[in-house]
Amino acid sequence: MGVDGQPFADWVDSLVAIARQNRPIACCFDYDGTLTPIVSHPSLAILSDAMRNLLASLNELPNVQVAVISGRALADVQQKVALPSIWFAGSGGAELWLNGNRWEYPHADAFRCELDRLQQLLAPVIERFSQAWLERKPVAMAIHHRHIPEDATGEFLAEVLRIVQDFPALRAREVSQALEITPQDGWDKGTAIQTILGHLGESAYPIFFGDAPNDTEAMQVVRQLNGITVGIGPDAPPIAQVLLDSPAELQRVLEILVGQLCALGPDLERESTRNVGECCEGIDPGESALGLLLIDPDQVRRQQCLLELSRRGWQVWASADWESIEPLLESIAPAIRVAAVNLQLPGLEAGRVLEQLRQRIPHAAPAALIPNVSRYAEEAFQRVNNVPLVNIRRDWEQLHREFRAIWALSLQQSGERRLRFRTDEPSGEAGLHQPPGGSIMNGP
């Protein structure tokens, strides 16, 4: 779901439009439940290499600053993410690490004294409910109860809240089967967003991704500044404008976002009004960046494709399967020039997907990526589907040229002349396997 009920492609397009204006963009993420799934113990919430690479790629773009704003202790979330160039807020916003400098809530010492008193009073309760446990943070506390039997949880929470209510300077809030204790009027995720934007300048544009009630203040600040708020999962604050099902869906969306922003990268620090197509060697400036749709189950290769081909002027959408990309086709179809499918999709899935793409994007040139399959299998697939085969073990510059050649051949077959290719790059390049008869089907 997208901003105010619109498809999520709309807000991705909005963010790309902001980037074209050379405005600083603050991409801010919660950690648990947003970048990683909720797990049985905080120590098990491990950031995947794929998500880490996406954050790093996003942060490397001109005018983009990534920040992780977590209820975890600052040192803990920094260690989990392991990207020193991004910014962090820990303890729900009470600890900040921006541009190599650390700040802490000014009244943190007094707050810690209150937490010490609270911890002493809670000790008998924690001892009686042995499945519960208490986590101290530099400027926060979490009382975890996810392992208490369901029929005892109500009694446990009632006893804890009865004790906490005698501490007016403290605030208790339920977050992912834990009670989070923070300063009542202290720094929170909203003030962290304000501080980050203050460091980036008045024109900075915020987007925040969060999954739980303790992300509400951050989303309120972002909404007040006309930014974008993205909720992850069923417990996201109602104020979220965009809803994604899970961290896995967030990862798929970030792959698309990074690909589109990478396509702008060469221009962002120079002249924001310059057409992206002018960066693509040999392409008519009147044509926008060539669009590539890649369906490939190999996650590493999808991310490499996003980065490497975006740097060469392509606008890339990558997905592991048809089901993930199908809802987006209507919005991205006009930009697609080449649709490439890996032959290693399960069973006969590759042929089915290519047929679907021919029907849904008839103007795009289809291509099949050759993985480690036999020559017999290649020839059999070619006879049935009549598409060019591309060796995905080639380097990225060769793949860039082969995809361009596929699009050029498609234009020749249809009689269109939208692009001008250099005369020293013939369409029949080495490594491009043409189907029998040398033609490429461009439509059903």
Per-residue pLDDT for the chain (444 aa), expressed as one digit of tens each?
444 444 455 788 888 888 888 899 999 999 999 999 988 888 889 999 989 999 998 998 888 999 999 999 999 999 999 998 999 999 999 999 998 889 888 888 888 899 999 999 999 998 898 899 899 988 889 999 988 988 888 999 999 999 989 898 888 888 878 888 888 877 899 999 999 999 998 899 999 999 998 899 999 999 999 999 999 999 899 999 999 999 999 998 898 888 888 776 555 543 332 222 232 333 332 344 678 888 888 877 887 887 788 777 788 888 888 887 887 788 788 888 898 888 777 656 777 888 888 888 888 888 888 765 555 555 655 555 667 788 776 678 888 888 888 887 777 666 543 333 333 333 333 333 333 332 222 232
**Are 3-103+187-250 and 108-183 in the same CATH fold?**
no
The number of C-alpha atoms within 13 Å of 379 and in the hemisphere containing its C-beta is: 3
| Residues forming a β-bridge with 101 | 98
At 33 the three-state DSSP class reads coil
Tokens standing for residue 312: 């060469």
CATH, range 275-438 = 3.40.50.2300
Q: Report residue 229: phi and psi, to 5°.
A: -115, 130
- Domain 108-183 in this protein, CATH class: alpha beta
Which residue in the block uniquely carries the two structure tokens 């050649």?
405
Between the alpha carbon of residue 269 and those of residues 20, 41, 201, 205, 288, the distances in Å are 10, 43, 16, 17, 19
Say what the pTM is: 0.61
Helical residues (DSSP H) of 74-188, grouped into ranges: 74-81, 108-128, 150-164
Interstrand relation of 365-370 and 336-342 (parallel, antiparallel or unpaired): parallel
- Rounded to an integer, what distance in angstroms lies between the CA atom of residue 285 and that of residue 408? 16
Three-class SS of residue 392? coil
CA 366, CA 443: separation in Å to the nearest integer?
9
Q: Which is nearest to 80 in space by CA: 68, 91, 92?
A: 68
Q: Phi-psi bin for 136: left (phi > 0), alpha (psi -120 to 50), beta?
A: beta
Closest CA to 378 of 427, 434, 297, 319: 434
Domain ranges of the chain: 3-103+187-250, 108-183, 275-438
- C-beta atoms surrounding 163 within 10 Å: 14
Rg (alpha carbons) of the chain, rounded to whole number: 25
CATH superfamily to which 3-103+187-250 belongs:
HAD superfamily/HAD-like (3.40.50.1000)
